[in-house]
Structure formats: structure tokens, C-alpha cells
Chains A and B, each alone.
Chain A
Amino acid sequence: GDSVTQMEGPVTLSEEAFLTINCTYTATGYPSLFWYVQYPGEGLQLLLKATKADDKGSNKGFEATYRKETTSFHLEKGSVQVSDSAVYFCALSPGGTSYGKLTFGQGTILTVHP
């Protein structure tokens, strides 16, 4: 079945450092890929998405490129802020009619220090 694997955390960075969180997936067909962020005590918020190979999703300085050849969707940000501290989840949605069924990775905790 479908699966998503994220780099293990937690990740601790200083403000303005470069961020990479690795994500690889296993899926049949042509899934859509997402990054969601969860702040303490809140639900998940969509950060960015990509729906086909070589698409780049971007939002709030975060970027991720859908790489079908390496089945990856790594999240990057050039300069993190303290406010970026949260849990980040990589997820996929299978193509076709399987709408609403997201498969998530285990999450990566990011802590940014001033």
C-alpha cells in the first residue's frame, strides 16, 4: 500500500539557518503530494502541494519539488524563523477517486532558537 517516510527528528536550528526535511514515498499511480504544518494545540494547516512530477510547491518561503524519479518531496526553507517551530507532515493523496484519503508520514518536530 501507499506509504510516506520522513526524516526522523527532532530538528533543532538557529534562526536564519537553512532547513531541509526529507520525505520519500511509495505509491501506485500518480499521487498528489502535500506538506502540512501543525502548531501546538492546533489542527493541520496546508503548507504547500504539488500534483504532478517536477511541480514545485511554495508558500511562506518554503519550497518542495515533486521528484518522481527519486520518489521524493523534500521540504526546504532558506532562512528559518522562530515562528516556524512546529511539526511538519509530508502526505500523499492517491490519484483517481480516492479523494480525502491522505497517507501521512510520522511528522518531524522543528524547533528554531533565536
Chain B
Amino acid sequence: LAKTTQPISMDSYEGQEVNITCSHNNIATNDYITWYQQFPSQGPRFIIQGYKTKVTNEVASLFIPADRKSSTLSLPRVSLSDTAVYYCLVKWGFQKLVFGTGTRLLVSP
């Protein structure tokens, strides 16, 4: 059964780099991988999107291997305000949009 899985939770300290991986073994060949951040009782907020290799913007980097069966969101120098749940979003091979299981990141002082 194809799944979009992520680690349930991660702990980090301020100033550290955090890498969150999403496994998507049945991703559609022609679609992008998108990552979102969600705070409690709010809608998800777009972070970054990529198709292959590496993408970087002002808040994060996204690493995608050649087989595209996984992707890694990298948050450089996290702060307390980065405490949130992070989701990947991919389209499966049969064209169904699926959010990952979500990773709850806790950043401590």
C-alpha cells in the first residue's frame, strides 16, 4: 500500500539545523513535492516546493534524490517560532493528492 510517511516527532534546540524526511514511494512522475507548516488551529502555510535535486529559498531547503521516492526538508538554524507540524504533500501515481502523516517539531531554548 502506497503511503506518504514522516517521523511522528522531532526535538531540536534553537540554532540547530533540522532535517525532516518524507517517504513517498508511489509519487506521480510529473508532479511536484510541496512542504507546509501548520500551527495549532490554523491552516497550513506553504514553505517550499521542488521536483528534483535541490531547491532553496529564504526559509528552507528541499533535497530530492533521483528516484524521488523521498524528500528532505531542511530548516537551518531553527528558532522557537519554528515549533509546528510539518507536512509534505505529493500526488500519488493515480493522481490523488495526499498529505504526509506530519512531523511535530519541538524547538527548545
A binds B: no
A binding-site residues for B, Cβ under 8 Å: none
B binding-site residues for A, Cβ under 8 Å: none
